[in-house]
Amino acid sequence: MITKNLKLNITLYYIFSFIGGVQFYGPVFALFFQSFSLSQAQILSFLSIYAVSTILFEIPTGIFSD
């Protein structure tokens, strides 16, 4: 019984991790920013800065929270 629940939990974990990692909001952000008449280069720059800042600030905030 415990093994069955464990397998279910692991499967659900993988599904939620995949859905969270896919980042469905990228195309939505692009369309949103195009409505403000931004060029594709500006949109790409903004999304790149967002991704890099997320990576850079994850470690310090993790250390701070511990």
Q: What is the pLDDT of residues 26-51, one digit of tens each?
A: 788 888 989 999 999 998 898 899 88
Q: How many residues does the chain have?
A: 66
| pLDDT tier at 24, thresholds 50, 70, 90 | confident
Whole-model pTM over 0.75 = no
Rounded Cα distance between 48 and 51, Å, is 5
Tracing tokens 């403000």 back to the chain, one arrives at: 36
pLDDT at residue 53 tops 70: yes
Token output for 43: 């949109």
Rounded Cα distance between 63 and 65, Å, is 5
